C-alpha cells in the first residue's frame, strides 16, 4: 500500500518510484576505468611532462560524464626507473598510456628524445603519438579523451592477449647508459677519480 503525502502542492511518495529491485534508493556499484601512465622521467623530460598534463586534462574533461554514467576513473602513474619495473609492466616506450590495459597508441613510433638522452648520457628514442594523421611528441588531449570514451562506449576489446615480452633495445640502451652515468656520478661525488 502506497501512502501519498501532499506538501504545498508537491506529491511525495513514501516508497521508491522504481518497480525493479535495483531501486533508486540503492546505489549501484561503480565500474572502474583503469588508466596507467608509464614514463621514464617527469622532472626534465618535456614529452613525459606534457603527456602527464594532457592526461590530467583529459581525465578532468571526462570524469563528470563518466561518473554520471556509473564509472569511476582510476589513474596509476608509474615511474619506470629500473629494468625490472619495465619488464613487470611490459613497458615498450616512454611515455605510455593504457586504458584498461590497452595502449592508446595504435602504432609504436619513436623519435630522438634529447631530454631522456641528457638524463642517461646516450641517444634515446621516445614515443611519438599519431592522431588524425599528424605526429606529436605530446599526445593531444583529444586523443586521450577519444581513447577513454572508445574503451567505455566502443566495441569491447576484452583483456589484452598475453604476449611474450622482451625489453626493447631502446629501453635497454637507456637503462644501461643511465646506470653507467649514475655510477660515474656516485664515484665523482665520493672523490674517486678512477
> Which residues are CB-neighbours of 145 under 8 A, at least 6 positions away?
58, 61, 62
Distances from the Cα of 4 to the Cα of 9, 11, 17, 156, angstroms: 12, 6, 12, 44
CA–CA gap between residue 37 and residue 147 (Å, rounded): 13
Write down the residue that cell numbers 595504435 correspond to. 106
**Arithmetic mean of pLDDT, 64-77:** 94
Q: What is the pLDDT of residue 20?
A: 55
Residue range 110-139, pLDDT digits in tens: 999 999 999 999 999 999 999 999 999 999
What percent of the chain lies above the pLDDT cut of 90? 65
Q: Which of 4-18, 94-108, 146-160, 164-178 has the lowest mean pLDDT?
A: 4-18
CA–CA gap between residue 80 and residue 82 (Å, rounded): 6
Residue range 159-188, pLDDT digits in tens: 666 778 999 998 999 999 999 988 766 566
What percent of the chain lies above the pLDDT cut of 70? 77
In this structure, are residues 152 and 30 in contact, taking their beta carbons and an 8 Å threshold?
Answer: no
CA–CA gap between residue 32 and residue 148 (Å, rounded): 12
Distances from the Cα of 173 to the Cα of 20, 104, 116, 117, 168, angstroms: 59, 24, 11, 10, 9
Amino acid at each position: 500500500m502506497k501512502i501519498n503525502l501532499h506538501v504545498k502542492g508537491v506529491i511525495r511518495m513514501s516508497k521508491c518510484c522504481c518497480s525493479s529491485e535495483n531501486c533508486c534508493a540503492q546505489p549501484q556499484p561503480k565500474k572502474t576505468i583503469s588508466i596507467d601512465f608509464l614514463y621514464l622521467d617527469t622532472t626534465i623530460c618535456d614529452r613525459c611532462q606534457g603527456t602527464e598534463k594532457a592526461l590530467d586534462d583529459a581525465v578532468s574533461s571526462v570524469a563528470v560524464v563518466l561518473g554520471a554514467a556509473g564509472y569511476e576513473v582510476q589513474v596509476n602513474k608509474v615511474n619506470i626507473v629500473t629494468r625490472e619495473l619495465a619488464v613487470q609492466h611490459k613497458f615498450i616506450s616512454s611515455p605510455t598510456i593504457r586504458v584498461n590495459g590497452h595502449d592508446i597508441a595504435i602504432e609504436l613510433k619513436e623519435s630522438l628524445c634529447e631530454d631522456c638522452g641528457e638524463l642517461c648520457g646516450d641517444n634515446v628514442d621516445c614515443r611519438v603519438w599519431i592522431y588524425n594523421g599528424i605526429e606529436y611528441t605530446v599526445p593531444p588531449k583529444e586523443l586521450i579523451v577519444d581513447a577513454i570514451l572508445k574503451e567505455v562506449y566502443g566495441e569491447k576489446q576484452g583483456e589484452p592477449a598475453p604476449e611474450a615480452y622482451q625489453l626493447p633495445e631502446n629501453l635497454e640502451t637507456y637503462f644501461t647508459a643511465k646506470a653507467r652515468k649514475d655510477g660515474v656520478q656516485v664515484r665523482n661525488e665520493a672523490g674517486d677519480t678512477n
